[in-house]
Amino acid sequence: MHFFLSPYLLAPLAALATLLGGWLVVRFFQGKASLMRHLSGVAAGYLVAVTLVRIIPEALEHGDHGHGVALWSLGGFLLVHLIEHGISPHFHYGEESHTHEGSHFTGIIALVGLSLHSFMDGMAVTASLEAQTGLGLLVFIGIMLHRIPEGGTISSIFLVRGFGARGALLAAGGLAVAAWLGAVSQHFLELPLGPVLGLTAGLSLYVACSDLLPEAQKERGWKSTLGLLIGTALFLLTSSLVPHQHVH
């Protein structure tokens, strides 16, 4: 695998995107959720497109049979829901602009849940790179796009829970480390690509439709639709530049 398309480079870049989202909230976007919501719409459009057009077909190519891959995709979808709504309370970007009841403990629980999600993101980057079909770069772009709002989300949560700017940035850094650990774990464990790509498909669809789109739709009028279309167009552009390569 070429170094420029290896988890040792792309996973740290995805980690930096998480830190960027946290830093933007701490330094510039407290109480100004609109721009992050626009980015959420773009990320949602990209993730839906890359999942339906590339991830699912390639999971089927690497899986033993289609039914098994479908079950892994369903499992990934349900697992992310469990992580976000069972293990940790559901929060959203812009928490710092509202008054909520809660404690430091609820912030830590949210960090644990989002760290598990980030770990899965890291595994998705490595597994898509291991497919060696051009999928890796496309999945990396999608994860980069949604990790910026995710870094903003955890920073928002930590600000409103009273951790301060330093604590908010450390929380975003924790998510970054979790994503890197997921990428390295998949690289060394070499789990079967079909199931991991199936999980990636379920994860991506859930994040796009349950996390990102509802945030984008808080913008009135045509703005959320425009973000979704821009994300889809971005995928079509990048996909044309990174064609599907069959490896035999």
| Tens of pLDDT, residues 40-75 | 889 899 999 999 999 998 888 887 666 788 899 999
Cβ-contact 206, 81 below 8 angstroms: yes
Residues belonging to the chain: 248
Q: Is the pLDDT of residue 214 over 90?
A: no
Terminal Cα distance for the chain, rounded: 16
Taking residues 107-132, report their average pLDDT.
83
DSSP at 242: S
What is the model's pLDDT at position 103?
65
Q: Which is higher by pLDDT, 99 or 231?
A: 231
Q: Is the pLDDT of residue 132 over 90?
A: no
What is the model's pLDDT at position 248?
46
Taking residues 29-35, report their average pLDDT.
63
- pLDDT confidence band for 198 (50 / 70 / 90): very high
What is the model's pLDDT at position 3?
45
Cα–Cα distance, 103 to 122 (Å, whole number): 29
- pLDDT confidence band for 238 (50 / 70 / 90): very high
Contacts of 175 (CB under 8 A, 6+ apart): 18, 111, 114, 115, 118, 147, 150, 151, 154
Name the phi and psi angles at 102, rounded to 5.
Answer: 155, 175
Specify the residue for token string 């945030």.
Answer: 215
74 burial (CB, 10 Å; 0-12 / 13-18 / 19+) is middle
User: Letter for the amino acid at 107?
Assistant: G
Taking residues 167-184, report their average pLDDT.
84
Cβ-contact 179, 148 below 8 angstroms: no
What is the model's pLDDT at position 183?
84
What is the model's pLDDT at position 234?
95
